Amino acid sequence: MTARSRTRRLAAVLAAGASIAALATATQPAAAAPEQHALPIVTPTPQSLGRDSGDVPVSDEVVLVADSGTDAAARDLVTALLREHGARKVTVVAPGREPRHSHALVVRLGGAGRADVTRAVPVPDQAEGYALSTAGGEIVIGGRDGSGQYYGAQTLRQLFVPSGHGWAISGVAVRDWPNMSLRGSIEGFYGPPWSTADRLRQIAFLGEVKANTYVYSAKDDAYLRAQWRDPYPAGELATLGQLVQSATAHHVDFTYALSPGVSICFSSPDDIAAVKAKLQSVYDLGVRSFSIPFDDISYTKWNCAADQTTFGTPGQAAAGKAQVSLLNAITTGFIKTHDGARPLQTVPTEYSDLKDSPYKTELRENLDPSVVVQWTGTDVVPPSVTTDEAQQVSTVYGRKVFLWDNYPVNDYEQSAGRLLLAPYAQRQAGLSQYLNGIVANPMNQEAASEVAEFGATDFAWNDAGYSPERSWPQALARLAGGDARASAALAVFADLEHLAPTFGPTPWQPQAPVLAAKTKAFWQRWNAGDHRRSMADLRAYAVQIRDAAKVIRGGHVASAFVDEASPWLDASTYWGGALVDQLDALAASARGDDQAAQRLTASADALVTKAQAVKTGNTNRWGVRQALVGDGVLDAVITQARAATLG
């Protein structure tokens, strides 16, 4: 689905998100019931949002007041939104050139230096901040910078409401800015890579959710790692340029992550020059954000004899000295000499713990203070991230750190056969005090990754205001393109893909919490003799499981997600059908119809066999596996019902 078609269904998305909130909150604290005139849900959650006026109708003609300081992407987005919501004509005029005695809606869009904007809205001082007002029947969007204007337009996207036979803009005032300066994703997984279309879709998604960072650390790009010294062939360089242009258009920094640690000679002037040359080749494409990561390398041996002479015997301290020398040389000799270049980023070799070490001491004491250091939490896949942990690691590295969050990545054995569709959770409010950003490492399946990434960017924008039980339904509703029925089906399906593993045996989010709760209630009622009520509730949910794939495929769900999830959707149909049949068999047995019970049990057994035969396809580095759906919960209730049926 295109961004344009998603916009047309925005009001439906908001309604769909509300309609599935009950399912999403099955394992979360209950939210307060909305007031009769509830404010619109805006994501990421704004710093402040309140009623400003009555809803403002979108007129047939609209005057958009803009000048040379108006961000072009924001202007184009606002124009498109207005046209998609009923404005037949949008006329762009300079401030002071507004037509008098006109019935046209006036929309003002500009920066903090424009008098007609600042008279109407108090533009925040924070970078990327914006304010939006509907008072006086005008729409005013003021941004601290170009990104702020663009994010104000992305908020406007979420304020259109049906009104009579047309559209109106919800009468609200918004004042907003991000708590973390870096927000987005890092393409850092192993296994089959994303296509160019996947990457372009990801970048557009990041812009839509007010994320500003896409770290290009693609393991399939040999020119980032194994062949880091070699220049890109013309065709690959052109493809990179296409990605960079798209990122710029969506106010996303394309961060180029060159990984020379596998073979670099740190003391070699030629290798330092090769790093600069490689960075220059993508700087010329428009890249302004760079990273030199040292993850997943050996740091207790040298790649050249000269490094032992320069830095000493291989070890933690020597590795720290060598890495610091390169990072400081690139900071001084490239970053600070290139107009517009952002502070250099790095991933230390020791990226997943809190302990001090000779290696970390070198980075803390000698690394240029402008260099941004990434950290993955207390493990490669941490079950939680707390403020105490972030405070400790910021002390160890002597600076705020940048969280590389390995969720929802599914390139490791514990995630084999799985999609990871649980909400972004177990990250503590207050982390913005110690983190300067979060990037989520996604799955090999790009569109499916957007569910968790939606929450990660929501959290990074406003960690104090983040709520998984509010954000997750909105992520699913967005994926469904505003189709309420498909949104509900996605909630059922996502519950069956809820398990979030770590590198250990214990997952940090449970499998199928909604189904597990319904199953527990079913057996309690059934064993107490209340067969009718227990059967009605669980069987109805089993039908939803069985039919979810058909609804998802027949609705407005993003086609890329449908394609990626196809094996799991197939398996859910079989598993759901098996549960329906086995419950019917149990009911038949309870009323003494043994023949029907045996026939239905045989049908359920056949469907289970089909479900277990569904394979994922070769989409991850763990290869072809069984497509796991609700495992440990869905299969368990079928087995238990079968045993109770056959006595």
Instruction: Give the three-state DSSP class for 211.
Output: coil
CA pair distance 92, 385, nearest whole angstrom: 47
Give the DSSP H/E element, type plus range, for residue 11: helix 10-19
Q: What is the largest CA-CA distance in the chain?
A: 86
Instruction: Give the E-state strand segments of 71-205 in sequence order.
Output: 89-93, 105-111, 130-133, 139-143, 160-163, 166-169, 172-176, 182-187
- Cα 544 from chain centroid (whole Å): 26
Nearest-angstrom CA–CA distance, 151 and 129: 8
Determine which helix (DSSP H) or strand (DSSP E) holds 564, and give its type and residue range: helix 559-564
Strand ranges for 94-165 from DSSP E:
105-111, 130-133, 139-143, 160-163
SS3 sequence of 340-387: CCCCCEECCCCCCCCCCCHHHHHHHHHCCCCCEEEECCCCCCCCCECH
Token pair for 599: 């026939």
Q: Which residues pair with residue 140 across a beta bridge?
A: 108, 133
Q: Is cis: bond before 510, omega within 30 of 0?
A: no
Neighbours of 189 (CB within 10 A): 25
Query: Checking DSSP bridges between strand 160-163 and strand 139-143, what pairing results, if any?
Result: unpaired
CB 277 within 8 A of CB 333: no
d(Cα 635, Cα 605) in Å, to the nearest integer? Answer: 11
* 3-state SS, one letter per residue, for 581-619: HHHHHHHHHHCCCHHHHHHHHHHHHHHHHHHHHCECCCC
Own/partner contacts of 411-415, CB < 8 Å, gap of 24 or more, are 411/189, 411/190, 411/191, 411/443, 411/444, 411/620, 411/621, 411/622, 412/381, 412/501, 412/503, 412/622, 413/622, 414/501, 414/502, 414/503, 414/504, 415/501, 415/622
Distance CA 535, CA 281 (A): 65
Distance set, CA 152 to CA 75, 478, 624 (Å):
11, 19, 44
Residue 537's beta-bridge partner residues? none
Rounded Cα–Cα distance for residues 327 and 340 (Å): 18
Q: Does the active-site annotation cover 296?
A: yes
Measure the N-to-C terminal CA separation of the chain; round to a whole number of Å. 50
Considering 52, 55, 116, 296, which one is annotated as catalytic? 296
Q: How many CB atoms lie within 10 A of CB 146?
A: 17
Nearest Cα to 173, choosing from 141, 132, 123? 132
**Secondary structure class of 160 (helix, strand, coil):** strand
- Contact status, residue 277 vs residue 330, Cβ threshold 8 Å: no
Which residue, 18, 24, 30, is CA-closest to 492? Answer: 24
- For the annotated catalytic residues, the residue numbers are 296
